[in-house]
Structure 1
Amino acid sequence: MTSTGQPPVRIGVFGLLGSGNLGNDGSLEAVLGHLRTAHPEAVVDALCGGPDAVTARYGIPATRLHWYRGEYRTASRAGAVAGKGLGKLVDAFRTAAWVRRHDVVIVPGMGVLEATLPLRPWGFPYALFLLCASGRLVGTRVALVGVGADTIRNRSTRALVRWSARLAAYRSYRDDLSRDAMRAMGVDTGRDRVYPDLAFALPTAAASAPSDVPGLVCVGVMAFHGSDADRDRAEEIHRRYIDGVTAFVRALVEEGRPVRLLTGDDVDRAVVATILDAVGSPLVTAADAVSLADLMRETAAADAVVATRYHNLVCALKSGTPTLALSYAAKSDALMDRMGLGAYCHPAREVDAGRLLEQFRELEKRAAGLRRTLAERNRTATAQLADQWAELTAALFPTKTKTTSKTKTTSKSKTEHAGSRPRQEAP
């Protein structure tokens, strides 16, 4: 029981968390930080991709997202195909049982409503649909908080994503692009709000120490193979990306610039190894970041950053370092524009090392002014996310909202109290 005599709120967090993607885990960390501050009495657990990692790192109980352990491996044998099929049925019951135990389930950030990277409809989109449908069925409020979305071509994936969004009790997005995409896919977004990415709510991590060598450049790389629509030429896109980034890094090294390679997911490590081997210079080193805080410390120590993964960009921009985006999706362009660096985007599908060097030199010429711009935009993002947390509390924790209201006013009428009630659930 809480101090008010009420049972504690039971909150679940859901997603591909603890699976090696630093951006996803950073969004979880931001939400947990808010819950521990604003709702310390809440009981929190997770249904996620990497339950052992989530429990070890964040100290909350966690359950595996999929019953079938080989869910994200290609099924070529009959046994694997049967296992996946059975897993879909078992997961429907597992998910509903897990959702039923909670008052609220939060999906923290992440690009859960997009397919900007290769994605099968019966993987995570199906899992998200099960979550939102279960919430509506058993009366548990499901909140998609600060999520990313994009227009999806695959009909099955689009249908699952659209119904997931419709069934959620609360939705907010990390950019206008995401809200517009959901509206275009048939979701009523009239009550949905846009806020900065949840990672902007994390504490700003300063550089642990000044760089030993002046002129350090951080280059964030990615195991990039194009979008979900590029499966037929994925290897060609991947090779072109690696060749372009390698040529850019080699050009920096030839100028005597130290380069620090960054990743954002475990799958990126092979790209780092390829570039290190191809350039073969002691000026090129690899960071071993295991969190967004680590990435922020790395980018804060650099003179400039060139990065591909979305949350590599977030970390660099939040640290206030002039940044150039190797943009693989419209969400990267939208983020850079929001932070005042919209002119510094380069297509990840067609990396032209010569043109990239020209953009990089222009970025460095304007570095002082860009740092001032980033400082201002970061202050704005912090204030906007404070509004996000307040809206989330009003929407998902009405009991606490009413209790707070009664404490502050002792004689207001019922009509006055009604004005502070949370908004109705979205359709």
Structure 2
Amino acid sequence: MTPVNRPPVRVGVFGLLGSGNLGNDGSLEAVLGHLRTAHPEAVVDALCGGPEAVTARFGIPATRLHWYRGEYRTASRTGAVAAKAVGKLLDPFRTAAWVRRHDVVIVPGMGVLEATLPLRPWGFPYALFLLCASGRLSGTPVALVSVGAAGIRRRSTRTLVRWSARLAAYRSYRDAPSRDAMRAMGVDTSRDEVYPDLAFSLPSPPAGEPLGPAGRAGPPTGTVCVGVMAFHGSNDDRARAGEIHRRYLDGTIRFVRTLVGEGRTVRLLTGDGVDAPVVAAILDAVESPLVTAAEVTSLADLMKETAAADTVVATRYHNLICALKAGTPTLALTYATKSEALMDRMGLGAYCHSAREVDADRLLEQFRALEQHAAELRGTLAERNLVAARQVGQQFTALTAALFPAAAPDRAHDQAPIHAQTQAHAHDLREAQ
């Protein structure tokens, strides 16, 4: 049988996609762009959080990740608790059946191996474990591509994440601290590589004119984009989540109010639907026509906004990526090592401020320094973006070599490179927990 007569490769993509997080959907967009360019014959579908949204936007069939639609809502009534329990029993069979229908499954980017935001072990960590275990049992390779990871204190979550990583056939990370975290959790990372976030492969917008108060193009006005987040700390901060959020919000409001007092135009950016209350709180507190909220539905929208700004101050990880990729001097309100690693990679490591301890005076001082060095930083970002784009291209080349070998027609032979890699990790299955 010749390669022309072989059936098309069946590729599944998996994750909290279509659920309102622009960063997650941006990672999916990057992988789909690669598949459509390098492997146009591939048949692609998704197992994801928001199947309707994924199908509408990306044009691929999609299946709901969990049997129970209210998986990520707190179950208080008896019926909801019972339905969630039933879902936990059915999801292993649903996941296994979906995985078996594919030649390979890709988890595109995202922080799937971390708990830097509040996370329940029996939500997504459990779903990821089911995916990776199903892949190992059925012989379908599961690839974790440029994913984020971080140390996890909670034993149940850490166990699920560790075994998910061990059972995956291919792993790469979006930064070195992610690989270090998995090594510290007992995963053999000797064959795992580090590449930039997949979003660096997305098209960059042309440099735009600064946006006026109503979002219209106009003469330079010193526009500052401020990316906000419904930030309540990490999974380990639940006891003081309210205090952390109040401090973050109060500091951000003071910062925005000072900029407005100087006649600066401020554009508020989000990265997830849950951020809307933070935007509303800032608009109510500042009450100025100089402060407006951008309507963004994709990373492309975020990049256009940040490209049109003079400077950016942002919290969400993919807000930072969009601003840096657009070449705009950026100050990061960091809540996890991934943000600090990203800023270091892009040459702006000096411009980080803790989102947990927002000090408006100190933040303003750092912001002034950012503006003073803006021209120099734009040059640095231009150079670093070229490097990042080249490295993401290398990631896709490595992914193709591992998952799409153009050798013999039968599936077992085609997947030999992947199975050779997974055999190196086979001893993990025999280790005691």
Q: TM-score, normalised by structure 2?
A: 0.93
Q: What amino acid does structure 2 have at the position aligned with 1:151?
A: G
Distance in 2, Cα, partners of 1:286 & 1:77: 37
- 1:203 alignment counterpart: 203
Asked if 1:424 is matched to 2:431, the reply is no
Contact 2:224 2:266 in 1 (8 A): yes
| Alignment of structure 1 residues 22-421 onto 2, 5 Å | 22-207=22-207, 209-211=209-211, 212=218, 213-398=220-405, 400=406
Distance in 2, Cα, partners of 1:424 & 1:332: 30
- 2:412 alignment counterpart: none
For residue 421 of structure 2, give the secondary structure of its aligned residue in structure 1.
coil
Deviation digits for residues 292-334 of structure 1 (CA, Å, limit 9, x no counterpart)? 0000000000000000000000000000000000001111001
Deviates more, 1:382-391 or 1:38-47: 382-391
Contact 1:26 1:292 in 2 (8 A): yes
Asked if 1:19 is matched to 2:19, the reply is yes
Contact 2:210 2:223 in 1 (8 A): no
Distance in 2, Cα, partners of 1:375 & 1:363: 16
Q: What amino acid does structure 1 have at the position aligned with 2:228?
A: V
Offset at residue 230 of structure 1 (A)? 0.5
Deviates more, 1:247-256 or 1:81-90: 81-90
- 1:415 alignment counterpart: none
Contact 1:224 1:238 in 2 (8 A): yes
- 2:431 alignment counterpart: none
Q: What amino acid does structure 2 have at the position aligned with 1:38?
A: A
Contact 2:265 2:290 in 1 (8 A): yes
For residue 246 of structure 1, give the secondary structure of its aligned residue in structure 2.
helix
Distance in 2, Cα, partners of 1:402 & 1:146: 28
- 1:413 alignment counterpart: none
Offset at residue 209 of structure 1 (A)? 4.5
- 1:409 alignment counterpart: none
Offset at residue 17 of structure 1 (A)? 0.1
Contact 1:119 1:228 in 2 (8 A): yes
Q: What amino acid does structure 2 have at the position aligned with 1:319?
A: A
Distance in 1, Cα, partners of 2:421 & 2:40: 25
Distance in 2, Cα, partners of 1:388 & 1:307: 27
For residue 341 of structure 1, give the secondary structure of its aligned residue in structure 2.
coil
Distance in 1, Cα, partners of 2:297 & 2:97: 32
Distance in 2, Cα, partners of 1:49 & 1:16: 5
Distance in 2, Cα, partners of 1:22 & 1:208: 21
Contact 1:110 1:148 in 2 (8 A): yes
Distance in 2, Cα, partners of 1:3 & 1:395: 18
CA, structure 1 residues 2+44, in 2 after alignment: closer, same or farther (shift >3 Å)? farther
Deviates more, 1:29-38 or 1:70-79: 70-79
Offset at residue 210 of structure 1 (A)? 4.2
Distance in 2, Cα, partners of 1:210 & 1:217: 9
Offset at residue 206 of structure 1 (A)? 2.4
Kindly report the root-mean-square deviation, in angstroms, between the aligned alpha carbons of the 2 structures.
Answer: 1.5
Distance in 1, Cα, partners of 2:35 & 2:297: 22
Q: What amino acid does structure 2 have at the position aligned with 1:13?
A: V
Q: What amino acid does structure 1 have at the position aligned with 2:322?
A: C
Deviation digits for residues 256-303 of structure 1 (CA, Å, limit 9, x no counterpart)? 000000000000011000000100000000000000000000000000
For residue 162 of structure 2, give the secondary structure of its aligned residue in structure 1.
helix
For residue 424 of structure 1, give the secondary structure of its aligned residue in structure 2.
helix
State the aligned residue count. Answer: 410
Offset at residue 154 of structure 1 (A)? 0.4
Offset at residue 202 of structure 1 (A)? 0.4
Distance in 1, Cα, partners of 2:207 & 2:138: 47
Q: TM-score, normalised by structure 1?
A: 0.94
For residue 171 of structure 2, give the secondary structure of its aligned residue in structure 1.
strand
Contact 2:210 2:222 in 1 (8 A): no
Identity of aligned residues (%): 79
5+ long unaligned stretches in structure 2: 212-217, 410-415, 426-433
Q: What amino acid does structure 1 have at the position aligned with 2:263?
A: G
Offset at residue 75 of structure 1 (A)? 1.0
Contact 2:210 2:310 in 1 (8 A): no
CA, structure 1 residues 256+199, in 2 after alignment: closer, same or farther (shift >3 Å)? same
